[in-house]
Structure 1
Amino acid sequence: MGNQMTEMLKGTLEGIVLAILARRSAYGYEITTWLRDRGFSDIAEGTVYALLVRIEQRGFVDVEKVPSEKGPPRKVYSINTKGREQLAEFWGTWDVLAERIDHLRDNDNPQNEGA
């Protein structure tokens, strides 16, 4: 992934993870795998775990420790009401930014000049 993609992803990763958790509860490795399977191959596991700590501290998720067949219990994250509100705000912001960026791109296209 290029540097520009990495920087953009940093700004949106919280919303992306909340969107994943809105689909179903998951633990850190599952989230990382889901992201990698969908083309976010350069996301480090540590980045996801650090983000999960932050969203837990901000009160966006509930955490349950679930026994694991191998090793210590897993922390399973579930989005809560506050997290759903944050996700709704993320999507609203995303829509506004995407619309403005699309408008810039469309107006920057030389074929559209004079139209």
Structure 2
Amino acid sequence: MLEQREKIATNIRKGVLEYCVLGSLANDDKYGLELAEELTKRHLTAGEGSLYPLLARMKTAGLVETRWEEGGAGRKRKYYSITEHGRVMLKEFRTVWAEITTQVDELLGGQHGQGH
């Protein structure tokens, strides 16, 4: 049963991860490891290995932009920030997400959060 639950969760995470990244960046620019740690802590990604290819695709799509800054110990860090296009897409996602979660909750009989 736990294996099936994790499979469902993984499929949902894959579908929303890009928007979770945009949501995180909407409040503050972050460097890659910082972003990976936040998403991992929230159980939204397994770590950096899956995040960096996603960030590269998001940059190509014009959703995020990058810049280099000095980090600790003289190392440079690549910071990610959301673009205006990314903000528009995040706003659209929020609307769609609210509609979908409402419809799913209704179909599931309002059992959201009750473990049924």
C-alpha separation in 2, matches of 1:42 and 1:62:
21
**Deviation of 1:36 (Å):** 2.3
Distance 1:71 1:47, change over 3 A: farther
C-alpha separation in 2, matches of 1:45 and 1:33:
8
Residues 1:106 and 2:109 aligned together: yes
Aligned residue in 2 for 1:7: 11
Distance 1:42 1:12, change over 3 A: closer
Q: How many residues align?
A: 107
Aligned residue in 2 for 1:62: 65
**Deviation of 1:84 (Å):** 0.1
The SS at the match of 1:106 is coil
Instruction: Show structure 1 runs of 5+ residues with no match.
Output: 109-115
Aligned residue in 2 for 1:19: 23
The SS at the match of 1:43 is coil
Root-mean-square deviation (CA), in Å? 2.1
CA contact (8 A) 2:13 2:45 kept: no
Q: Which has the larger radius of gyration?
A: 1
Aligned residue in 2 for 1:112: none
What residue identity is the alignment partner of 2:17?
L
Aligned residue in 1 for 2:36: 32
Q: So what's the TM-score if we normalise by structure 2?
A: 0.82
The SS at the match of 1:50 is helix
Instruction: Show structure 2 runs of 5+ residues with no match.
Output: 112-116
Distance 1:83 1:42, change over 3 A: closer
**Deviation of 1:107 (Å):** 7.2
Residues 1:93 and 2:96 aligned together: yes
Which of 72-81 and 10-19 deviates more? Answer: 72-81
